[in-house]
Structure 1
Amino acid sequence: MTKLTFADLFSGCGGLSLGLTLSGLQGHFAIERDDMAFRTFAANMLERKGARRFDWPRWLEKKAWDIEELLDQHLGSLRSLRGQIDILAGGPPCQGFSFAGRRNEGDPRNLLFKKYVEMVHVLQPRAIVIENVPGMRVVHARRNVIDLQHPKRLENKLSFYDKLAESLSDAGYAVEAKLVDSSTFGVPQKRSRLIVIGVRKDLCEWLDGGVTHVFDLLEQARIAQLSELGLGEIVTASDALSDLEISGRTLSPTTDPQCPPRYLEASYHGPKTPYQELMHFGHDGPMDSMRLARHRDDVRERFGKILAECRRGVRMSDADRKSYDLKKHRIFPMAGDDPAPTVTTLPDDILHYSEPRILTVREYARLQSFPDWFHFRGKYTTGGKLRTKECPRYTQVGNAVPPLLARAIGKALQEMLAEVSAARDQFARTTKADAPALAIG
């Protein structure tokens, strides 16, 4: 059977694309504006030997593209794809309405949703899927005196999700959204995300239960996935990372050519748990992105005290941060026997559950369910104003859709489209069978 196809907008390093291909979908093209993130995407999704995950169009250069640039330069070619893309996927930038950091509703990146909707108009896919932060569905008004004295002025305010749903409805799609916790899909991380599913209205009428039924199929896909992959209901941080602990391991200079000198990495001795075996399957050669942070002695000592004295698995309280003279607002000492907290784009947000250090990029990737064969490109971190312009490795991983979550979404969408096709075929057969009787009558 011919595989269903998808295109991925705002693909980042490729977490969503990887999961969709693992579900059995065939990629057609992907758009990502950051050069480092696209280099990671290309290395794993386009250049990896033995895997034809994308059937890339000849007219589209394999490089980092801005979506507005793509629409300006290739609108005619995109229109020629109408009817050929089954699923349009994407995760437009979420920084403007994320709760993890400074929220800025005026962030120009938020307007990229309009470009996503424009691509929907052009391609007219059968279904769409968007992953984003829960804050996308929340209305945040400016808390000033005028608003407090005139609460009715807030009645007409819409969340970004509301605006998106209205725009997609105008484009001909029935849309529904649901908060989903990635940790229930075999991802060792408490990561709550808003999953938005849209189905073209002419197809939705054939779907028993409408677009909401897709989330019933997603639940079925979740249960099946845990069984197929041999994973329990909960995968803990220790289940994911114990084979990457550095205690008792040989530390050697990193061989990563994109890493400055004097950094070390630990030797790797093999997986210990079912989740680690799943992540390590298909890997060959040295582990990628194993570079350890270079903590000062006093920093390691402070991290050790935090792990010994503070509550694990939750954000450090204001009182605890003050006692350790920490100005950073978000610090999570991990608990080894629970899923990790939400991985962000900042490497110093999370402390290892048993060692006085932050996590490596590879450990971040494990918590996001990226397989060990997935290699990352570009520098490791950035800072200052460049944080809004660059996408180094920690940012690539933190922004990504967990591949295991994306895999289940891909399974659910395929089942949904199969049900639509079956319902239409059944109607056609019934109509054909009734035609002679109707003619005689």
Structure 2
Amino acid sequence: MSEKKLKHIELFAGCGGMSLGLEAAGYKLYLANELSPMAGETFAYNLLNETLEGNKAPLKTLWIKSQFPKDSIDKRLRENPFEAPEGNYSDIDDCTILNDKLLIGDINELLKILEKKPVLVKSIKNSEIDLISGGPPCQSFSLAGKREKNNHKNILPESFARLAGMIQPKTVLLENVKGITSPFTENKIKYHAWLEVSKAFVLEGFVPVCMMLNSKYFGVPQNRPRFILLAYRKDIFKKLLKNNFNNDILNLSNNFFEKVLKNKNSLETITVKDFKYYDIENNASLFDGVILPKLTHTERTFISSGEAIGDIRTTRFSYIVNKTKGKYANSLNDIFKIDFQKGIEVKNHDPRNHSFLIRSRFRFYQVVEQFRNGLKKGAIDMFTGKNISDDLRVELLDEFSHHKLLFFDENTNREIDIIPQSIKEVEQLLKLIPTKKHSQRALAEFEPAPSQLTIPDDLCHYHSDHPRTLTVREMARFQSFPDWFEFKSKVTTGGQMRKFEVPQYTQVGNAVPPLLAKSLGELIKTQLNSIN
């Protein structure tokens, strides 16, 4: 007899990283919501097995509001989601079955519909949802609230909490960037967004437990710090507390819950002195799989960049799912299994075209990445025009003399790989390949990737034969997506379109790593099973 799957609702679903991980942990998707139709196209294709294209209305993907009818899918996929609420079309009515659906559109428009259609809310609540998860932008959220009224992002955490309060799932999982822990000032008062978000969930009847994780501890080949809030419906929390009597983490959460309710008319009096989050870097022993998730990897076993993408280094080759030589990649395909035909080609692995200037610059970054720290900084200082000492110049030349840089030979009109003979030769090259982007760097082959994976131009490959940016597939590997997972819509975007379009690179960079989601899902599942 197969184990009963837990039901979950996914808000701010993106391309599906969280849902993919939760599915592997034993959850079944009840309902998902995503603002961007571009990210939704990827979600529908991989999680719902539904292709969005042409003029055929999909069965599982519904638009909350749109300016276009349901048989104009191509237009809906390119619609600005911030203008969609002005439309007169909606795919949701009193008779809509929400189970196994993806709803495209603004969560606040969804809330309006649910408030007007209690029959839909009743059907969801009757399904007894185990988990609602998602990652709303939270960095400047405050319940004190009159900041930038026109900033849509500032109300999203409260919208998440309101929907959770409406549905009353057993648990809530919120994921966010590390920046949520940095204080911000409003009306000369200092606030912490993570604390404000915690208060919001308390007011909806949930007891929070907060932590700062890093994806590299859970098998993801990326140094990716992430804030996580787990919150338990009050009755569920009481049972968890009973099973873990006198647990310091749960006791602190319980005290915070009671204090917020007692002071709900003066929430500003509750500060970071009244609550805390647990940082995996400082409190690793607490991450034992009881209240906080258990580490699956330590520093000695972190997955490196080379292990993550070394088997698909050459982009001119075609690769077949489960037929590459990468142990890491094949383990992902095994963890996140689907039924598919053999011989499926690995998609989203097309390289971008670079000029000589960009390739030469990337080669410089690749070389400098191999320098010891002091000289690495000196080389970057030289590149950015800062003055460096003569002694440092001598040391840098010694380092550069072991590596080939990419020059352009005007006599033969071609690129050449040569070892520089003088530091002046290096400086002359650097004048030809200037950059205003000081965040650019090369991957380190034997370390996890850095966390900047949203903008494709920020990172280049570690191998000197490949002075190029990463492909979408390589970035997906760093996020722990399996090779069969195919990203849809445009590859990149630019200009004014950046304000609302979510192309493939952004879909990957914004995603919750499926391996991290799986670990969190398994923790919640274990906790719920322990109290049943």
TM-score, normalization by structure 2: 0.65
Report the counterpart of residue 355 of structure 2 in structure 1.
296
Question: What does residue 363 of structure 1 align with?
Answer: 474
Checking the alignment, whether the CA contact within 8 Å between 1:35 and 1:63 is kept in structure 2 is no
Which range is displaced more, 55-64 or 372-381?
55-64
The one-character-per-residue Cα deviations of 1:268-300 (angstroms, maximum 9, x if unpaired) are: 274223212213446741211111010012221
Task: Give me the whole-angstrom Cα distance separating, in 2, the residues matched to 1:117 and 1:277.
Answer: 38
Match of 1:393 among 504, 507, 516: 504
Q: Which is worse superposed, 106-115 or 214-223?
A: 214-223
Q: Quote the offset at 1:216 in angstroms.
A: 3.7
SS of 2:183's equivalent in the other structure is: coil
1:312-349 per-position Cα deviation (integer Å, ceiling 9, x unaligned): 799x8562551542211311211000000014311011
Pair 320,374 (structure 1): closer, same or farther in 2 beyond 3 Å: farther
Q: Which runs of 5+ in 1 are unaligned?
A: 98-103, 143-152, 252-265, 422-441
RMSD: 3.1
Match of 1:307 among 335, 353, 366: 366
1:410 aligns with one of 521, 525, 528: 521
1:64 alignment partner in structure 2: 104
Alignment counterpart, residue 236 of structure 1, candidates 300, 304, 310: 304
Post-superposition offset of 1:217: 1.9
Supply the AA of the counterpart residue of 2:508: V
Match of 2:456 in 1: 347
1:81 maps to 124
After superposing the two structures, state which structure 1 stretch, 360-369 or 337-346, moved more: 337-346
In 2, the alpha carbon distance for the partners of 1:293 and 1:130 equals: 34
Question: 1:205-354, aligned counterparts within 5 Å?
Answer: 205-207=238-240, 208=244, 209=247, 211=250, 216-217=288-289, 222-223=294-295, 233-246=301-314, 251=316, 266-268=317-319, 270-281=323-334, 284-310=343-369, 319=381, 321-323=383-385, 324=430, 325-354=434-463
Matched, 1:91 2:138: no
Cα deviation 1:8-32 (Å, max 9, x = unaligned): 0000000001000100111101000
Higher helix share: 1
| Structure 1 residues 369-388: aligned runs within 5 Å | 369-388=480-499
> Quick check: 1:36–1:392 contact (8 Å CA) kept in 2?
yes
Question: What do the CA deviations read for 1:73-122 (whole angstroms, capped 9, x no partner)?
Answer: 2332124322511111001135769xxxxxx9984313211110110111
The equivalent of 1:38 in structure 2 is 40
Matched residue SS, 1:375: coil
What is residue 432 of structure 1 aligned with on the other side?
A: none
Q: Deviations over 1:177-197 (max 9, x none)?
A: 111010011100000000111
**Structure-1 separation of matches of 2:149 and 2:208:** 23
Aligned with 2:221: secondary structure?
coil
From the superposition, tell whether residues 47 and 306 of structure 1 become closer, same or farther in structure 2 (CA, over 3 Å). Answer: same
- Which deviates the most, 279-288 or 7-16? 279-288
Question: C-alpha displacement at 1:360, in angstroms?
Answer: 0.2
Q: Is the 8 A contact 1:312 1:335 kept in 2?
A: no
Instruction: Give distance in 1, aligned partners of 2:498 and 2:290.
Output: 34
Q: How does 1:152-231 map to 2 (within 5 A)?
A: 156-207=189-240, 208=244, 209=247, 211=250, 216-217=288-289, 222-223=294-295
Alpha-carbon shift at residue 305 of structure 1 (Å): 2.0
Are the aligned partners of 2:318 and 2:345 in contact in 1 as well (CA < 8 Å)?
no
Quickly say closer, same or farther: Cα 1:5–1:128, change in 2 above 3 A: same
* Aligned position for 1:429: none
Q: 2:158 matched to which residue of 1? A: 114
Q: In structure 2, give the amino acid aligned to 1:277.
A: N
**Matched letter for residue 6 of structure 1:** H
AA matched with 2:360: E
Task: Judge conservation of contact 2:170–2:233 (CA < 8 Å) in 1.
Answer: yes
Task: Return the alpha-carbon distance in structure 2 between the equivalents of residues 377 and 272 of structure 1.
Answer: 26
2:173, 2:231 within 8 Å by CA — same for their partners in 1?
Answer: yes
Any conservation in 2 of the 1:312–1:334 contact (CA below 8 Å)?
Answer: no
Contact 2:10 2:132 in 1 (8 A): yes
Aligned residues: 378
Q: Which deviates further from its counterpart, 78-87 or 25-34?
A: 78-87
For 2:289 and 2:149, the matched residues in 1 are separated by 33
Contact preservation (8 Å) 2:140, 2:184:
no
8 A contact 2:25–2:518 mirrored in 1:
yes
- Code of the residue aligned with 2:467 in structure 1: it is P
Which residue pairs with 1:22 in the alignment? 24
Residues 331, 195 of structure 1: alpha-carbon distance in 2 compared, 3 angstrom cutoff: same
Question: Distance between the aligned counterparts of 2:382 and 2:495, measured in 1?
Answer: 26
Looking at structure 1, the residues matched to 525 and 5 of structure 2 have their Cα atoms a distance apart, in angstroms, of: 10
Deviation at 1:70?
1.3
Bigger Rg over Cα: 2
CA distance in 2 between partners of 1:220 and 1:118 (Å): 25
Deviation at 1:172, TM superposition (A): 1.2
| Distance of 1:7 and 1:187 partners within structure 2 | 24
Are 1:131 and 2:131 an aligned pair? no
Inter-partner Cα distance in structure 2 for 1:105 and 1:131:
24
After superposition, the Cα gap between the structure-2 partners of 1:218 and 1:91, relative to the gap in structure 1 and judged at 3 Å, is farther
Unpaired segments of 5 or more residues in structure 2? Answer: 52-59, 63-95, 142-147, 254-277, 279-285, 386-429
- Give SS of 2:357's match: helix
Amino acid at match of 2:125: R
Indicate how the Cα distance of structure 1 residues 95 and 407 shifts in structure 2: closer, same or farther if over 3 A, else same: same
Change in Cα spacing, 1:158 to 1:95, as seen in structure 2 (3 Å) is closer
Letter in 1 for 2:193: F
Alpha-carbon deviation of 1:167?
Answer: 1.2
Secondary structure at 1:179 match in 2: strand
Runs (4+) of structure 1 exceeding 6 A deviation are 54-57
Is the contact made by 2:493 and 2:503 (CA closer than 8 Å) also made in structure 1?
A: yes
